[in-house]
Homo-oligomer: A and B are copies of this chain.
Amino acid sequence: MQLISETLEQAVEQLARLPGMGRKSAQRIAMHLLKQNDEQVLRLSKAIADLKKNIRYCSTCFNITDQDPCPICSSEKRNTGVVCVVEEPKDVYVIERTREFNGRYHVLGGVISPLQNVGPDEIRVNELIRRIRDGEGIKELILALNPDAEGEATGYYINKLAQPMGVDVTRIAHGIPMGTDLEFIDDATLTRAFAGRRNF
Query: Interface of A with B (CB < 8 Å)?
Result: 1-8, 10-11, 13-15, 17-21, 25, 27-34, 36, 38, 41-52, 54-55, 63-66, 70-72, 88-90, 92-93, 96-97, 99, 183
Not counting A5-B54, A20-B28, A34-B89, a sample of 20 additional A-B residue pairs whose C-beta atoms are within 8 angstroms of each other reads A1-B96, A2-B99, A4-B65, A4-B71, A7-B50, A7-B51, A14-B43, A14-B48, A17-B44, A18-B33, A18-B44, A19-B29, A20-B29, A27-B93, A33-B52, A34-B55, A36-B52, A41-B49, A41-B51, A42-B52
A91 vs B30: C-alpha distance in the bound complex, in angstroms? 13
Stoichiometry (number of copies): 2
Q: A22 CB to closest chain B CB, in angstroms? A: 11
Contact B32 A18 (CB under 8 A): yes
Please indicate the chain B residues that have their CB under 8 angstroms from the CB of A66 in the complex: 5-7
User: Main SS of the interface on chain A?
Assistant: helix
Contact B49 A45 (CB under 8 A): yes
A-B contact pairs, 11 of them (CB 8 A): A3-B71, A5-B54, A7-B55, A14-B47, A18-B29, A28-B90, A31-B89, A33-B48, A33-B51, A34-B51, A44-B48
Contact B34 A92 (CB under 8 A): no
Contact B64 A8 (CB under 8 A): yes
